[in-house]
Chain A
Amino acid sequence: MNWTSAADFFAMGGYGLYVWGSFGVTALVVAGELVALALRRRALERKDSFE
C-alpha cells in the first residue's frame, strides 16, 4: 500500500494538482461526451415524433 491515509492519497506527494487535474478533467470530458451523445439521440427521437 502506497498511502498511509486518505489525505496522503489526495496530496499525491505534493503533486495533487497535476495528478488530479489529469484524472479529473479526463473523467469530466468522458462524462461530457456520453451526455452529449445521449442528448443527441434524445433530440433525434423528439424531432421524429412530430415530423
Chain B
Amino acid sequence: MPLADINWFYYAAPQRFHPLAGRLAPWFMAAAALLALAGLYIGFFVAPTDATQGEVYRVIFIHVPAAWMSMVVYLAMAFWAAVGLIFNARLASMLALALAPTGALMTFVALWTGALWGKPTWGAWWVWDARLTSELILLFLYIGYMSLHAAIEDTRRADRAAAVLAIVGAVNVPIIYFSVQWWNTLHQGASVSLTRAPSMATTMLTGMLLMALAAWAYCIAVALMRVRVLIVERERHAAWAQEALATP
C-alpha cells in the first residue's frame, strides 16, 4: 500500500493508536536487542585496540549513540509538543511526554560515560567546556519539562505550558552539536558527519553505528510503551480503556 494512501489521521485518536503502539513496540524492542548484541560483539571482539587511547576508547560504543539520541529525542519531543500545541492534538502531547524520560536517560548516560572517558584521557571527570555544559543544560531542560508538566494539575494546560518550554529549549540542540566548532573545546570534534568520510577504523565505526541503531530502536520501543500507559492513564474512565487494560 503506498504511504500516501494511509490515512495518518486515523491513528491520531489515542484509542486507535493504543493497539497500534502495542503491536509495534515488541518489534522495535527485539530489533534493539539484536542490534545491541551485534554492536557489542563487534565493539568488544572485532574492533581493534585504539593506537593512542588503548581499550578505554570502547566507551565510544555507548557514549556516542547515547549523545546522539539525547539530541534526537529532544527534537522529536519538541516536534510533538509543538504539534500538540498548534493543532490541539492530544496524542501528540502524550508522545512528547512519553519521550521525555527516555531522552533524559540518554542525556544522563552521555554525561556519565563522558565523565568516565574524560578522567583517563583528559585527567578530569568534568570540565566546563561548551560541549559538556550545553549537554548538561539539555539534561536540565528535560527535567524542567517533566517537572513543569507534573506541577500543573490540568493535564491539557500542563501539555501546553511544557510544550512552550520544550520548543524554546530546542535552540540548545544546535548549540550542543556545533559547540565543538564554535568554541575552543576540550571535547573533540565530530569523527562522523554527513559531509566528510569518517575518521575511524571501519570496524569501530560499524560497531558504533550498530549501537546507534540499537539506541534508536530502544528509544522508539520505550516511547511507544510509555505512551500506551499515558493514554490509558488519561482515558481511564472511558469504557475502551478499561477493556484495553483487561486484554494486554
Total chain B interface residues with beta-carbon distance under 8 A: 35
Number of A-B contacts (CB under 8 A): 78
Q: B113 to A2, Cβ gap below 8 A? A: no
Is A6 part of the contact surface with B, judged by Cβ < 8 Å? no
With a cutoff of 8 Å between Cβ atoms, the chain A residues found around residue B225 in the complex are 37
The residue that A22 contacts in the complex, of B49, B112, B229, with Cβ under 8 A, is B112
Total chain A interface residues with beta-carbon distance under 8 A: 28
Interface of chain B, main secondary structure: helix
Shortest distance between the CB of B168 and any CB in chain A (Å): 26
Q: Contacts A15-B120, A48-B236, A48-B242 given; indicate if A25 touches B109 (C-beta within 8 A).
A: yes
With a cutoff of 8 Å between Cβ atoms, the chain B residues found around residue A1 in the complex are 45
Residue with the highest number of chain A CB atoms closer than 10 Å, among B66, B102, B116, B228? B116
Q: A19 to B58, Cβ gap below 8 A? A: yes
Is A7 part of the contact surface with B, judged by Cβ < 8 Å? no
On B, residues with C-beta under 8 Å from A are 44-45, 47-49, 54-56, 58-59, 62-63, 66, 101-102, 105, 108-109, 112-113, 116-117, 119-120, 218, 222, 225-226, 228-229, 232-233, 236, 242, 245
